[in-house]
Structure formats: structure tokens, C-alpha cells
Structure 1
Amino acid sequence: MTTVQTAPPSTTTTATTSSSALSARRAFLVAAPVLAGLFAIVGAYADPGAGVMGQEMWKIYAANPDPLQFKSLGFHWSYAFWIAPALLIAPYVRGRGAWLANVTALVGFVGMTTLPGMLFIDWYDSALGAMYGVDAVQAVQDTMMNEMWGPRVFQLPGLVGFMLSLPLVALTLWRARLVKWWAIVPVVAGILAFMLSNVMWWGCAITTVCFAVFSVILAKATRP
């Protein structure tokens, strides 16, 4: 009787597959801040009510549902890529900074599971305004925010993730001695440009440049 034996997988092939998978994971981590900025530019440029708040904004959104959809999808993916590095950085941190990496991942988790989904409210407000007028949108908003505690509890983790996820990534890498202290500067500058410009497209462009600098820092810090 002849016994057929199967040769074990090649060690070289396994190592190559693992290496390519890790390279792809690292590439996503490095690209995420730049993608966040680029999608923010798309969202801000498409926003028909950029720089406007309250009933005037809802009136514009009700009258312009087509560009609004690009705006909301743009910012949805911007916030997702914005927070992603907080979830992806932990495997690169050993020893010093490991616990801070855990905190960073937790902040990224609570932000990722709340903030991007908030953009759905734009479409709801637009449809409600188109059908029943902006007074109905105002009434619904007032009822939700004044008579329910759930919406505020839902919003808070998203805001925390937005404000702290990338700064914590920079601090985690600094704590692990993978970057210099000034690595946090482009991150903070990008966030400030985003907020102080009232989320206009040119502010998002500055944010993209700042985040691109941080992506270079990430690439060097996570280099094999």
C-alpha cells in the first residue's frame, strides 16, 4: 500500500503572505489621516448650506437634497478615517505606552461607533423640511434635545472621538518613543483649521495638508 504525504506549507510562502498582509494594514493606517482630509473637502465643497446654521440651514437642505447627500457621505467617511488610526495603532506599541494605546483604542471605538452615523440626520432633516417645512424640523429637534437624554449621551462619545483620537495617537507614539513630541502639532493644527474655518472647504484643505504631515510621521514611526 502506498501512502501519500502532503508537504507542509512553505515557510517562505507563509512569511511572504503575512508580510504583505501587515504591509496592507500599515498602508491603511498611514493613509487614513489623508483620506479623512480629502473626504472632508468633498463634504465641505458639496455642502449647500456651508457656514449656515439653524432654520436657514434646514431650509437650504430641504431645497437641495442632491448636493446634501454628497456632503453627508463625504463627512461620514471623513470622520471614519479620522478616527481609524486610534484603533489601528495599538499593535505597534509595546512596553512604554501600551496602556495609553489601550485608552486610545477605546476612545477610537466609542468615536467610530457614534460620530460617522450622526450624518444620517442630515437626510432626515432634509426630507422632513421638504414635506412639512422647517418649523417641523425645529420642533423635532427641540423635542429630541430638550425632552430626551439619549441623543446627548449618543453625541458625547462621538465628539470625544473626534477631538481626542488623533491627538492620542500622537501621544501614544511619543510615549512609546517612536516619534518626537512635536508630532502632535500637525494633528492639533489640522483640527483647529477644520473647526475655526467653520468647516469650509479651504479649512478642510488646510486640515488635509496637516494630516498629510502626520501621515508621514506615522509611516516613519511604524516602519518595520
Structure 2
Amino acid sequence: MINTDVRRSASGKTSPTKNLAHHELRAFQQFDIPSSAGFLYGWGLNPDESENMQPQVTQLITLKNAWMASHILDAEFPTPLSQQGLAIYKAAQAERNATQIHNAPSHAQSDLLSFYPVDCHPLTIRYALVSASQWADQESEAMVEFLTQIMLDNNSPARLYVGFYQGKPAACGMIFSHPDCPDVTLISDVCAIPQANQEALTEAMTAWLIEQVSEQADQLWIC
């Protein structure tokens, strides 16, 4: 049974949730994991729009990356492995392009997944494991260490979600908004574990995230 009150120690000491993360990470590594991140599926998008992003979009992406980094940079004693994970994350984000979503996809099978908001640390671990599965070996472990530092509350600008496939965490993604950019909402960090239906799982996760915000967002972008 998972103790939802336990948090990973920034000092690097072993904790029950860290043991759980490493145990499940080994299970993910049975797949042929690519050596770098790389999933961005777009529907109703113009690839050239990334070159003409509005300032609010660029600002929102900067705020999202700063929020992610704050979990390490603001920690009193961040572990070297979590710092390595942050560096890997920053490098991956630098290679992403943002594109505006005009129309929700109609072909994605969102019923492939059961969706859960990340509202406790065990689900943060599942989110971290799915996201980290885009990297291999030591980089994957560093990403788990980094992502399990994420702390969410009611005032967090990010909403994280995990999609379960056949009872196991298989996809994840984030919705990010900020008062400084009231007209723009960002869907980010969408991915699925490397397996035969990875593309379908990623599409399902993205489609569901779009559905959650498409009616409220003046502008919806994915990065």
C-alpha cells in the first residue's frame, strides 16, 4: 500500500516513494526506449505558426519552463541527479516548437485511456515514470528524480494528468495557464510509453487534454 503522505527527500535520502519509482522504472525499461524525447502530434495546425508566435505564447512557455525548474532551483538541497534531470528537460524543451490548435482531432480514440488528475504524490510518480520513459537508462533515472520533485496545490499554474491503459500508466500531459497570459492556454509535455500503440495513446491523451480546455481558452497552443 502506498503512503500518500510520504514525499521524496531533496537531500537524496531513500524514501518509500523513491523505491516505488525505481521499481516501476525497471518495469518500463522492458520496452525499447528511445534515447531522446520526441512526441508532438498536431491536428488542425499550421507548422509555420511557430515562427510567428505571439508574445504571450512565448511568455507562457517561458513561465511554464520556469515553474518546472523552480522545483529544483528553489529546493534547499537539490540532489545532483535531479539537477541533471532539469538540464535534460531544458535541453528537450529547447528543441520543441509551439503550434496553435484550431480544431480538435476527430480520429483520436480517447476511450483508449482512463484519465486521472495528478493530485497526490503516487500519481506524480506515475506521471514522472511515463514522461521519463522517453529517455533511456541514466537519463531516464535523472528525469524521474527531477519530475518526482513536482509539488502541486490549488494555486499551481499547471494541471498534470496521467492516462491509464489496461490499468497501467501509459500516457501523460500538462495544461498550463498563467494570469500574466490570460488569453493563452498551453498543452505541453504530452507523451506515451514506448510500445506498439504509442502513437494512438499519445493522440488519445492530447485529444482529451484539448477537450478539457478548448471551450474556455481564447488561444490554445501545444508545445
* Band of TM-score, shorter chain: under 0.3
Structure number with bigger Rg:
1
TM-score (norm 1): 0.27
- Structure whose residues are more often strand by fraction: 2
Using structure 2 for the length normalisation, give the TM-score.
0.27
Q: Going by fraction, where is helix more abundant, 1 or 2?
A: 1
